[in-house]
């Protein structure tokens, strides 16, 4: 059982620093929702060590990350409320030490690495910064077939992180002197590092961003295909997170793919509209992928709601990056799957009343627990 005060501390961190994730988290069943607050808070305190516009010396940052690592692994005593709560979640859900190490190693890489040569090199960073997060969440959600869910969770985690990189190009270079757009990709489009550092947008830079958006959208396709493997009560929250994050692509395109002049963002009314739209299509279609196709703002070749992946498989995509796994033939509709045997009735799909209540609580946290 997570200590109540430690849980509230973790929840407050998510409310303050992750509005999009907080909205989606509110729609999870209570047991999984509470664990998610704790995981998010753990990720945030580690991330905050390296995301400091005026950072302390690298040795101090690395030493603090090691303290967090040892506390999270249970090899060091801690009185930090977030780390205490994380230990409870780690023990309850058997989170592997490897995932903790992968995550902290990725944070440590932000201390020493601020440029990446290729997407393959960036993928090594994503293994810890986002895929490890997805693997920990799978431990908490505990799907019936975790191995089938894992590659889709990996793809969705990568998509969410890549969307962050594209949205935050200006912030990353101005505040942290980091560029996550790989050098090989920049050079292929004729975009220099100096141009990005000086925040000079150009047709070439905007073409690069458009191509990176399309590449990331293929990750969303693969990721969303696997939502059906998750417990019913988790599916809508993950689906909504995907729709909300993908909507940043609409915002980026709306400003001409110039993410150097202004950081795109989603308003709260826009988030609420997408929550309602996603829920409606999810209830109507009974299939996460079909609902994503209908609710997502990602464009298609003919102006519809979804990208056609083959249109974006350009020679500039790089090695091993043009071919995505086909949509699994084992993804079955809900009425064809074996019922989940569990006593936790909260894992059933949320009703409209529950969705409205939890969305309202995410916006007005003082009104509801």
Q: What is the mean pLDDT of residues 136-148?
A: 97
> Which DSSP string corresponds to 263-303?
-----HHHHHHHHHHHHHHHHHHS-HHHHHHHH-----TTS
Averaged pLDDT of the chain? 85
- pLDDT above 60: residue 338: no
Question: In this predicted structure, what is the pLDDT of residue 164?
Answer: 96
The answer to whether the CB of 259 falls within 8 A of the CB of 213 is no
Question: In this predicted structure, what is the pLDDT of residue 360?
Answer: 52
- pLDDT above 70: residue 310: no
Q: What is the mean pLDDT of residues 111-137?
A: 96
Q: Where are the domains of the chain?
A: 1-112, 113-124+133-300+358-363
- pLDDT above 60: residue 341: no
Domain spanning 1-112: CATH 1.10.600.10: yes
Question: In this predicted structure, what is the pLDDT of residue 54?
Answer: 86
Question: In this predicted structure, what is the pLDDT of residue 311?
Answer: 34
Proportion of the chain above pLDDT 90, given as a percent: 73
Answer with the residue of higher pLDDT: 285 or 19: 285
How many Cα neighbours within 13 Å face the side chain of 187? 8
Pairwise CA distance, residues 235 & 239, whole Å: 6
Residues 190-237: tens digit of each pLDDT: 999 999 999 999 999 999 999 999 999 999 999 999 999 999 999 999
Burial of residue 260 (CB within 10 Å: 0-12, 13-18, 19+) is buried
Residues 30-62: tens digit of each pLDDT: 999 999 999 999 999 999 999 988 889 999 999
Q: Sign (positive/negative) of CA torsion 211, 213, 215, 217?
A: negative
Question: In this predicted structure, what is the pLDDT of residue 207?
Answer: 98
Q: Given this chain, do its domains 1-112 and 113-124+133-300+358-363 carry the same CATH topology?
A: yes
- pLDDT above 90: residue 302: no
Using 50, 70 and 90 to split pLDDT, how confident is the model at 321?
A: very low
Residues 73-104: tens digit of each pLDDT: 999 999 999 999 999 999 999 999 999 999 99
- Print burial letters for 104-132: b (CB count within 10 Å at least 16), e (below 16): bbbbbbbbeeeebeebeebeebbbbbbbb
From 24-28, 297-301, 304-308, 340-344, the region with the lowest mean pLDDT: 340-344
* CATH topology (fold) of 113-124+133-300+358-363: Farnesyl Diphosphate Synthase (1.10.600)
Question: In this predicted structure, what is the pLDDT of residue 17?
Answer: 86
């Amino acid at each position: 059982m997570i200590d109540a005060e430690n849980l509230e501390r973790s929840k407050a961190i998510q409310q303050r620093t992750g509005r999009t994730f907080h909205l989606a988290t509110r729609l999870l069943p209570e047991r999984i929702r509470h664990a998610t607050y704790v995981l998010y808070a753990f990720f945030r305190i580690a991330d905050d060590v390296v995301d400091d516009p005026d950072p302390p010396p690298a040795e101090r940052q690395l030493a603090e990350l090691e303290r967090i690592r040892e506390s999270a692994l249970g090899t060091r005593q801690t009185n930090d409320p977030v780390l205490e709560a994380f230990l409870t979640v780690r023990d309850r859900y058997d989170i592997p030490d490897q995932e903790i190490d992968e995550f902290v190693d990725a944070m440590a890489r932000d201390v020493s690495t601020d440029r990446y040569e290729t997407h393959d090199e960036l993928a090594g960073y994503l293994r810890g910064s986002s895929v490890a997060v997805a693997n920990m969440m799978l431990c908490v959600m505990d799907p019936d077939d975790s191995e089938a869910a894992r590659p889709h969770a990996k793809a969705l985690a990568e998509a969410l992180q890549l969307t962050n990189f594209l949205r935050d190009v200006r912030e990353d270079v101005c505040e942290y002197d980091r560029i996550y757009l790989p050098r090989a990709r920049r050079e292929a489009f004729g975009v220099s590092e100096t141009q990005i550092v000086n925040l000079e947008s150009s047709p070439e830079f905007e073409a690069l961003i458009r191509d990176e958006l399309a590449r990331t959208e293929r990750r969303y396709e693969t990721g969303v295909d696997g939502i059906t493997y998750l417990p019913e009560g988790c599916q809508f929250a993950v689906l909504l997170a995907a729709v909300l994050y993908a909507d940043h692509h609409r915002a980026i395109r709306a400003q001409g793919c110039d993410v150097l002049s202004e950081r795109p963002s989603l308003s709260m009314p826009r988030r609420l509209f997408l929550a309602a739209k996603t829920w409606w299509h999810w209830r109507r279609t009974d299939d996460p992928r079909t609902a994503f196709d209908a609710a997502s703002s990602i464009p298609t070749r003919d102006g519809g709601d979804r990208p056609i992946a083959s249109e974006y498989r350009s020679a500039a995509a790089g090695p091993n990056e043009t071919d995505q796994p086909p949509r699994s033939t084992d993804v079955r509709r809900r009425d064809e799957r074996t019922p989940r045997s569990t006593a936790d009735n909260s894992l059933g799909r949320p009703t409209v009343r529950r969705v409205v209540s939890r969305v309202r609580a995410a916006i007005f946290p003082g009104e509801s627990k």
